[in-house]
Amino acid sequence: MPIVKTQDLSYLYSTGTPFEIAAIRDVNLEIEQGELVGIIGHTGSGKSTLVQHLNGLLKPTSGKIFVDGLDIWESKQTVRDVRFKVGLCFQYPEYQLFEETVYKDISFGPKNMGLSEDEIDKKVRMAASFVGLKEEHLDKSPFYLSGGEKRRAAIAGVMAMEPKVLILDEPTSGLDPKGRDTILGMIKEYRQDTGSTVLVVSHSMEDVAKMATKVLVMNESKVAMYGTVDEIYSRSDEIIKMGLDVPQITRVFTSLAKCGVNVNPNIYTVNQGKLELAKLFKKA
C-alpha cells in the first residue's frame, strides 16, 4: 500500500472570481513508503499547492488524498492526525522561528502532540543532531544563528515530530553552495536512518539527482512525469522542451555521446561524470 496516494486531485484558487486559477489538475500519484521523491517544475507549476494538500493544509476542490490508506478528509480526527503524520516545512521556514531559544522552537511541534517532557527532550535532541546543531546552539536565541543554521533549526522543528512523511518545500533556496550541500546531505541521512518517506521540492535537477530515488515533474498544474531518476533524466529532451534546465553535466555528456565519444549520455551529477571519464581513459 502506498504511504501517500492522491486521486483526481484538483485545486482552484479564488474560485468564482475572475482570478480563478487551477493550480493543480487531476493529480493521480502513488508514493511508496521510504522513497525520497524530488519534485521539480517551473515556478507556478503547482508544486507548493500539491504538497500543502498532503498534510491537510489545503482542502481539495475535488479529488481525494490518502495517507497510510486513510482518506484524510474523512473526519475531523483524520485531518488532525495527518498534521502529525505528514510534516511540512515551508519555503524560507526560518521566518517562522519565534521562540526565545532554539530549543523551544524545535520543541513546538512535539509539544503540540501532547508528549511528556522526557519524550519531547529526546525528540528535540535527536532532531538537532540530524541537522548538525550543537548543544550550545539550543539555548541561544534563533536570532544569533547564521542563515544556514536558522534554516536547519526550522527543519529540525518538523523532524522532531518524527512524521512518517517529511516534506520540504525548496529547503536550499537562498543558501550558498556549502549550505546547500549540508542540507542535502542531512536530508539524505535522515531518510536513511529513519526509513521515513521524504518529499523535496527543488529547483535544481542536479540536487535532485544527488539524493532522490524518484522524481516527480510538475508542468502546467499537472504531473508530467513520475519515475526513477534514471527513467526521468533519460528523457532530458522532453524536460528541456518544458523549459526546465537539465544539469550542465548532463548536457556535456549528451553532447559527447552525440559527437561519437563512447560515453553514457545519461549522467546527472559531476561525480557520475568523473567515474564515466575515468572508465573512458582506462579503456584508452
Ligand X SMILES: Nc1ncnc2c1ncn2[C@@H]1O[C@H](COP(=O)(O)OP(=O)(O)O)[C@@H](O)[C@H]1O
Return residues touching ligand X (CB under 6 A): 13-14, 21, 23, 41, 43-49
Report in angstroms how near the CB of residue 45 gets to ligand X at its nearest: 4
CA distance linking residue 28 with residue 225, whole number of Å: 11
CB of 143 to ligand X, least distance (A): 29
Q: Which is nearer to Mg ion, 48 or 236 (CB)?
A: 48
Q: 30 — phi, psi (to 5°)?
A: -135, 120
Q: Give Cβ neighbours of residue 90 (< 8 Å, ≥ 6 apart).
A: 96, 169
Instruction: Considering the complex, state which of residue 48 and residue 55 has its C-beta at the smaller distance from Mg ion.
Output: 48
| Total binding residues toward Mg ion, as defined by CB under 5 A | 1
What does 127 interact with, of Mg ion, ligand X, none (CB < 5 to 8 A by kind)? none
Amino acid occupying residue 4: V
The binder of 146, among ligand X, Mg ion, none, by C-beta within 5 to 8 A per type, is: none
CB of 106 to Mg ion, least distance (A): 24
What is the residue whose three cell numbers read 572508465?
Answer: 279
To the nearest whole angstrom, how small is the minimum distance from the Cβ of residue 112 to Mg ion? 25
Is residue 219 a contact residue for Mg ion (CB under 5 A)? no
State the nearest-atom distance from the C-beta of 216 to ligand X, in Å.
Answer: 11
Residue 38 contacts which entry, Mg ion, ligand X, none (Cβ below 5-8 A, type-dependent): none
Residue 160 or 224 having the CB closest to Mg ion: 224
Separation of alpha carbons 138 and 145, rounded Å? 10
Please state the closest distance from residue 192 (CB atom) to ligand X, in A: 27
Cα–Cα distance measured from residue 156 to residue 107, given in angstroms and rounded to the nearest whole number: 9
Contact flag: residue 52 with Mg ion (CB under 5 A): no
Query: Which span (29-37, 46-54, 74-82, 143-151) binds Mg ion, by CB under 5 A?
Result: 46-54
Q: Which does 55 bind (CB under 5 to 8 A by kind): ligand X, Mg ion, none?
A: none
What is the 8-class DSSP label of residue 150? H
Q: Are 14 and 21 in contact (CB under 8 A)?
A: yes
What single letter denotes the amino acid at residue 259? C
- Neighbour count for residue 162 (Cβ, 10 Å): 18
Angle at which helices 248-258 and 270-283 cross, to 10°:
30
23 or 198: CB nearest ligand X: 23
Stretch that binds Mg ion, among 10-18, 41-49, 131-139, 216-224 (CB under 5 A): 41-49
> Residue 198 burial by CB count (10 A; 0-12/13-18/19+): exposed, middle or buried?
buried
Angle (CA) 138-178-38 rounded to 5° is 90
How many Cα atoms sit within 13 Å of 20 on the Cβ side?
8
Kindly list the residues in this chain that would bind Mg ion in the complex (CB under 5 A). Answer: 48
